Amino acid sequence: MSMAEGRALRADARRNRARILEAAEAVFAAQGVSASTEDVARRAGVGIGTVFRHFPTKESLVEEVFLGRVRMLADKAAALSEADAGTAFFRFFAYAVEQAATQNAYADVLAEAAATGGTGGEEGAAPSAVGRELAAALAELLARAQRAGAVRADMGVAELVALLIGASRAAEHVGPEVRRHTLDIVFDGLRPHE
Amino acid sequence: MSMAEGRALRADARRNRARILEAAEAVFAAQGVSASTEDVARRAGVGIGTVFRHFPTKESLVEEVFLGRVRMLADKAAALSEADAGTAFFRFFAYAVEQAATQNAYADVLAEAAATGGTGGEEGAAPSAVGRELAAALAELLARAQRAGAVRADMGVAELVALLIGASRAAEHVGPEVRRHTLDIVFDGLRPHE
Amino acid sequence: MSMAEGRALRADARRNRARILEAAEAVFAAQGVSASTEDVARRAGVGIGTVFRHFPTKESLVEEVFLGRVRMLADKAAALSEADAGTAFFRFFAYAVEQAATQNAYADVLAEAAATGGTGGEEGAAPSAVGRELAAALAELLARAQRAGAVRADMGVAELVALLIGASRAAEHVGPEVRRHTLDIVFDGLRPHE
Amino acid sequence: MSMAEGRALRADARRNRARILEAAEAVFAAQGVSASTEDVARRAGVGIGTVFRHFPTKESLVEEVFLGRVRMLADKAAALSEADAGTAFFRFFAYAVEQAATQNAYADVLAEAAATGGTGGEEGAAPSAVGRELAAALAELLARAQRAGAVRADMGVAELVALLIGASRAAEHVGPEVRRHTLDIVFDGLRPHE
DNA sequence: AATGAATGAGTATTCATTCAT
DNA sequence: TATGAATGAATACTCATTCAT
């Protein structure tokens, strides 16, 4: 009441919230989102009631976890925009796919969130602010790479997102070597065409 | 109770098994594999006990359903092998992806089954006979296309499967137009390089 | 399939259903309807799943229990109709109240069910068949007693039900002597007036 | 933290206590006593901890709220004692019933409280001071009406309380017209006989 | 062989109560 | 003293699996 904070949670409450999200991220990645909320609580070292105080539904917890991952990718994309356009683009693509490979359960929802940000996604998923953020970052990255002649001009963010989704999903199922090789094939497809 | 037994009952049982598989395919496609076994039984018009007599676990039922889909793909691959190599290859790829797009719940397990068939899959899933069958068909299809010069030589079945998985997963999340366009990009990547 | 039964439950299933209802009756009477379903199952000696198989909601179980009580009262009312009208009426009233006194949690819902059967009840409770049955029996009982001059003419089933409810509820809170005495007062009020 | 403490805080606390009771009265009346304590706190505009500081159990809060209602009835009874004995008696009876009709969740506990005040109540509930107060007021009211010949002599406070409870409970279930009519019947029963 | 009733571990969610801030 | 975050026992309900009929 004396500090100027947004929805000020007490320090330890904020800490707990973070721990729960962390735990959920780990648990969902390991067992899929059908893992029990109790498992998340146990891993976070808090009572089950605490989880539900912070996230009133399991669904809301799942959403928040996905949002966290999307936000991270968006940050990464924004950061890379400054560098040499083509390199930045391909480096980001590889990075995003690599991430998804280790956090398997997320890949598609992550991508879905991105898709809601203004591409060609089909379902009426909530067009989250962060999703839009990511879409904007991707658009920038792609446009620069195209202007630099590193990426074919006849494609948009929708295709980019689709390829990210696909490559991420594929990455879950194969070893690192095949992953790299497969990515090279996709990259060749992305380059300008004679 | 007073009918000719032996063969008669066997035929009945076979019919039931088929009906259950059909029902499961429909139910899982509609509600995902987390649909209840009871739903499957109801749709098949049999008792729940009958389902478990034919498939001792739910998991075994799910597997069998997926196996059915994989078998279909393998057949398609084998059939196309006869045609012009390049055309066959790309036509099959597009077909498989299109299938996955409409049967979304299956895509990943389908892909997993394929992966077990001798590629670079990581988990220790049993390398099912059908999976191997599919892998063989894919190998044939790929080899012919490569020999015909329609597909780059520096890739194997592992990469093909990875791309199939990825493209299938991506297909679930985007509309048909983006899907086609994305596939073109991947196809360009698959063609022989400079 | 060979016997002519309504919704034929297997013999043991019917037995279980009955046991569950009995157990629920006892448990609800002792602890109120907020007693846990698990308690009911335990008392009935069946698994929790069995309770839910027979009564898909706790609410449905509660309803069924109440219905059982109402049905019993209706039977009693019908049986008494034959006897001397005045005696029958007052005997039934006393009996119903006595019942309620020992099965405290039910009194009002029992009465509510009766009220839905065509009296002046306020809420939109489902006009259950049994409730209507009871109302009809009550109407008959009352009309006969009135024709016999044993009960005042200026009242209807609505008032009778209200008095039954009230006397039943009151009976829960006082000892048998006071109960009898209180009932006498109400009976005096019910008799024709100078 | 720097204000005049001692009295000042006490006054604050007293105000909070009152607000909580008010809120509880409203919330319980609207949703029944199974409403959550958090709802009460929210409505009172205080933290949940504050509610539990003033009332160490939820039960104690519920009791206090009921006590308040009983106290009100006792006051009413005392006030009416001054008026014409017969009128006072019947007016009070009607008033008490009318109250219960609109505040349904309370009726039985209210009645219980009254019952503990020295009548024939069965359970070992603590004979609260207020309950005794009410019983005394009722005794006075009744005695006067009996002396005035307006109420039958062969009944005591126990029967009066029983009838109040019963009429109150009945009042919850029927519309105002039936309520009035039913009350007339009870009143006829209460009047001196032949 | 087919049935469907029975089972009970498991799940999300609520809520009275405690306690650090 | 007031706050509200944390707690965890309790609850209704689901579903894969077993087994008597």
D76 and D164 housed in the same domain: yes
Q: Which residue has the higher pLDDT, A135 or D181?
A: D181
pLDDT at D184 over 90: yes
Same domain for A85 and A30: no
**Cβ atoms within 10 Å, residue D121:** 24
**pLDDT tens-digit series, residues B21-54:** 999 999 988 888 889 999 999 999 999 999 999 9
D139–C contact, CB cutoff 8 A: no
- pLDDT band, residue C9 (cuts 50/70/90): low
- pLDDT at res. A33: 82
Determine the longest span between alpha carbons in chain B, in angstroms. Answer: 75
What does the pLDDT read at residue C131?
63
pLDDT over threshold 60, residue C142? yes
On the question of pLDDT at A166 being above 80, the answer is: yes
- A96 and A174 assigned to the same domain: yes
pLDDT of residue B118: 46
Contacts of B152 in chain A (CB under 8 A): 185
| D154 and D76 both lie in a single domain | yes
Q: Between B127 and A19, whose confidence is greater?
A: A19
pLDDT of residue D8: 53
The pLDDT, as a whole number, for residue B101 is 59
Record: contact D155-C190, CB cut-off 8 A: no
Predicted confidence at residue C184, as pLDDT, reads: 95
Q: Say if residue C44 is in the same domain as residue C128.
A: no
pLDDT at D23 over 80: yes
pLDDT higher at C137 or C14: C14
- What separation in angstroms does the CA of D25 have from each of B34, D19, D22? 46, 10, 5
For residue B156, give its domain range. 64-190
What's the pLDDT score for residue C67? Answer: 77
pLDDT of A35 higher than 60: yes
B12-16, C122-126, C174-178: which range is least confident on average? C122-126
Report the b/e string of A65-96 with b at 16+ CB within 10 A: bbbbbbbebbebbbebbeeebbebbbebbbeb
CATH of the domain at C43: 1.10.10.60
C116 and C170 in a single domain? The answer is: yes
Q: Are residues A51 and A94 in the same domain?
A: no
The protein residue nearest F11 (Cα–C1') is C36
- State the pLDDT confidence band at A122, using cuts at 50, 70 and 90: very low
Q: Is residue C3 part of a domain?
A: no
Same domain, D69 and D50: no
User: Structural domain tally of chain D?
Assistant: 2
- In this predicted structure, the answer to whether residue C82 has a pLDDT above a threshold of 90 is no
The pLDDT value given to residue A44: 96
Confidence of residue C129 (pLDDT cuts 50, 70, 90): low
Q: Indicate the residue of C162, C178, C189 with minimum beta-carbon distance to D170.
A: C162
Considering the domain architecture, whether residues B42 and B72 belong to the same structural domain is answered as no
Q: What is the pLDDT of residue B185?
A: 96
Average pLDDT over residues A90-110: 66
Best interface-test mutation with C: which of D112, D155, D186, D193 has the largest number of C CBs within 10 A? D186
Please compute the mean of the pLDDT values over residues D76-87 and round it to a whole number: 77
Chain A residues touching residue B125 (CB < 8 angstroms) = none
A132 occurs within a structural domain? yes
Q: What is the pLDDT of residues B89-122, one digit of tens each?
A: 898 888 888 776 555 444 544 454 445 444 444 4
Mean predicted confidence (pLDDT) in C62-77: 78
Q: Report the CATH number that the domain containing residue B168 is assigned in CATH.
A: 1.10.357.10
Residue B95 and residue B138 in contact, taking contact as beta carbons nearer than 8 Å: no
Using CA coordinates, name the residue in chain B closest to A109.
Answer: B173
Q: Per-residue pLDDT for C50 more than 90? A: yes
Query: What per-residue confidence (pLDDT) applies to A69?
Result: 75
C131 and C180 within one domain: yes
Taking the C-alpha atoms of residue D84 and residue D80, their distance in angstroms, rounded to an integer, is 8
- Residue D186 confidence (pLDDT): 95
> Which range (B163-177, C18-32, D91-105, D138-152) has the least confidence?
D91-105
| pLDDT exceeds 90 at position C6 | no
Check residue D88 and give its pLDDT. Answer: 84
pLDDT(A105) > 90: no
pLDDT in tens, B72-83: 877 777 777 667
B positions 56-75 inside 8 Å of A (CB): none
Q: Which of A57-61, C16-20, C188-192 has the lowest mean pLDDT?
A: A57-61
d(CA D85, CA D64): 31
Confirm or reject contact between D22 and chain C (CB < 8 A): no
Residue of C170, C188, C189 lying closest to D162 (CB–CB): C170
Domain presence at residue A1: no
Q: For every residue of chain C, which 3-state class applies, written as one string?
A: CCCCCCCCCCHHHHHHHHHHHHHHHHHHHHHCCCCCHHHHHHHHCCCHHHHHHHCCCHHHHHHHHHHHHHHHHHHHHHHHCCCCHHHHHHHHHHHHHHHHHHCHHHHHHHHHHHHHCCCCECCCCCCCHHHHHHHHHHHHHHHHHHHCCCCCCCCCHHHHHHHHHHHHHHHHHECHHHHHHHHHHHHHHHCCCC
Which residue of D lies nearest to C156 if distances are taken between CA atoms? D178
Residues D90 and D49 in one domain: no
The predicted structure's pLDDT at residue A8? 54
Mean pLDDT of C174-186: 90
Q: Which of A22-36, A164-178, B96-110, D168-182 has the lowest mean pLDDT?
A: B96-110
Task: Give the CA distances from residue D131 to residues B111, B169, D63, D193, in Å, rounded to whole numbers and listed in that order.
Answer: 75, 72, 12, 30
Asked if D120's CB is within 8 angstroms of C174's CB, the reply is yes
Does residue C1 belong to any structural domain of this protein? no
Query: Residue B58: what pLDDT?
Result: 92
Lowest mean pLDDT segment, chosen from A51-65, A125-139, C180-194: A125-139
| C-alpha distance from C83 to closest chain D C-alpha (Å) | 25
Q: Quick: pLDDT tens for A44-87.
A: 999 999 999 999 999 889 888 877 877 777 777 777 777 788 88
Q: For B29-38, B87-96, D18-27, D168-177, which range has the lowest pLDDT when averaged over its residues? A: D168-177
Q: Is residue A4 part of a domain?
A: no
pLDDT category at C52 given cuts 50, 70, 90 is very high
Q: Is residue A128 part of a domain?
A: yes
Q: Are residues D49 and D73 in the same domain?
A: no
In this prediction, residue D135 carries a pLDDT of 76
φ, ψ at B174 (rounded to 5°) = -130, 165
Taking an 8 Å cut-off on Cβ atoms, the answer to whether C152 and D185 are in contact is yes
